[in-house]
Amino acid sequence: MTNLKEIKIKELAEKYFEINHPTGLKIIICPMKNYTSSHAILGTVYGSVNNCFGTLNGDLNTVPEGIAHFLEHKLFEDKSGRDTFELFSETGADVNAFTSFEKTCYFFSGTSSFLKNLKILLEFVNSPYFTEKTIEKEQDIIAQEIKMYNDDPDWQVFFNTLAAIYIKHPIRTDIAGTIQSISKITKELLYTCYGTYYAPNNMILVATGNVEPESVVTCVNELYNSKEFKQISFENIMPEEPTNINKKIIRKCLPVSIPLITVGFKCKSGNKVENFTNKFKYDMLLKMLFGETSAFFKKCYETGLVTEPFELQALSGNGFVSLLIGAKTITPEKLYEGILNEIGQKHVSGLNSDDFRCHKKDAFSSLVKTWEQPDALANVLFDLATVGLDFNSLFESISKLQINELEKLFKDNVEEEKSVLSVVSSS
């Protein structure tokens, strides 16, 4: 019998399992009653911000921006030149991958042949094969992906905000890098990054939906026991980020109907667990201040400053915490000023306790809804595993949260001088 650790979620009468595999791979399995489809993610805690790292032999590596995303593309091709998509097409499963700031995930969804699909996933992610010729071809494809995002006003206003907030932290650059940076990627650099970050002790496997825990573990054992894995130690090296912002206002010209803006705040960064749990608190804070139930949104909507709800987002990770408020408005500076005034006033008046109770219900409901979709649940369980937490910690963090704790977080971290304005407009 495999040593499965059962985690019960009493609020939902649900449970899932955790296993620490001898290779170091962390496995999370969540069977979902009556679901026909299953979803599996195999991912590494390695993303676009990890461009500088030290290894045990004392080497310090600085690699081109965009290499984690490039590596994600290249893993889909095996030694025989066969595309991984072709292997999955034989079972009819959907396969894809994504790279974000701090993780690279490979995943599939399907309604049959789960174990066959899982085997393909485990095999292709563990079988890197790169040649200069295929790298050159991929540079052309990714250049088109970069150009596509360069034409996307939402993407541009978002990354410009981060570039305005951060001075040195690599979160300020696009996940795919630039056409110039990816042109410097070589086969040797890809193998170095792969060898550092794709060891099982830095990876997580999550399976949700119509899955059976014992068979998942057996499948992993069969494949991983036939290979030789080493525990790899490395150190992510992040530049020391100053506390001040980089640039107050940043603008870009693109064809848009009315200007798009994002107001960003640079908050203090703690350790990775603090940053992770604080993200949920910041999400609640942003909704209380600027969400559809807020007096501020009502005022902006009624005076015509905005016609749609604000897009609110708290970002957090290794060395960064920031809050983003996005909108479409014909008067960017006026709205920015209004947001700053609102923050100033709320620093004095404090948060409303009725609002706080209402927003706790909102946070509770978003956790319940996570359990409706195998893919959404798998992603949340993956993120929790990266910081060593379980799903109960999210319910606990909401139920224990007091209004004075949220107010303190707000007053200590959301300040006018740490704010920026990013604008994308036609002229």
Q: Which residue numbers are catalytic?
A: 72
Q: In angstroms, what is the minimal distance from the CB of 316 to other proteins? A: 22
Instruction: Give Cα 143 to chain centroid, integer Å.
Output: 22
Output 33 or 400, the one with its CB closest to other proteins: 33
Task: Please report how the helices 353-370 and 403-413 are oriented relative to each other, as an axis angle in degrees rounded to 10.
Answer: 90
Buried b (16+ CB within 10 A) or exposed e, 278-292: bbbbbbbbbbbbbbe
Q: Who's near 150: CB < 8 A, 6+ residues apart?
A: 156
Q: In angstroms, what is the minimal distance from the CB of 206 to other proteins? A: 17
Q: In angstroms, what is the minimal distance from the CB of 136 to other proteins? A: 9
Output 136 or 188, the one with its CB closest to other proteins: 136
Q: In angstroms, what is the minimal distance from the CB of 318 to other proteins? A: 28
Output 267 or 312, the one with its CB closest to other proteins: 312
SS (H, E, C) the chain: CCCCEEEEECCCCEEEEEEECCCCCEEEEEECCCCCCEEEEEEECCCCCCCEEEECCCCEEECCCCHHHHHHHHCCECCCCCEHHHHHHCCCCEEEEEECCCCEEEEEEECCCHHHHHHHHHHHHCCCCCCHHHHHHHHHHHHHHHHHHHCCHHHHHHHHHHHHHCCCCHHHCCCCCCHHHHCCCCHHHHHHHHHHHCCHHHEEEEEEECCCHHHHHHHHHHHHCCCCCCCCCEEECCCCCCCCCCCCEEEEECCCCCCEEEEEEECCCCCHHHHHHHHHHHHHHHHHHHCCCCHHHHHHHHCCCCCCCCEEEEEEECCEEEEEEEEECCCHHHHHHHHHHHHHHHHHHCCCHHHHHHHHHHHHHHHHHHCCCHHHHHHHHHHHHHCCCCHHHHHHHHHHCCHHHHHHHHHHHCCHHHEEEEEEECC
The structure tokens listed for 337 are 């000023």
The structure tokens listed for 33 are 């009653």
Output 369 or 408, the one with its CB closest to other proteins: 369
Rg of the Cα atoms in the chain: 23
Output 52 or 254, the one with its CB closest to other proteins: 254
Output 92 or 350, the one with its CB closest to other proteins: 92
Output 154 or 415, the one with its CB closest to other proteins: 154
Q: In angstroms, what is the minimal distance from the CB of 108 to other proteins? A: 11
Output 200 or 291, the one with its CB closest to other proteins: 291
Q: In angstroms, what is the minimal distance from the CB of 259 to other proteins? A: 11
Q: In angstroms, what is the minimal distance from the CB of 418 to other proteins? A: 28
Q: In angstroms, what is the minimal distance from the CB of 79 to other proteins? A: 17
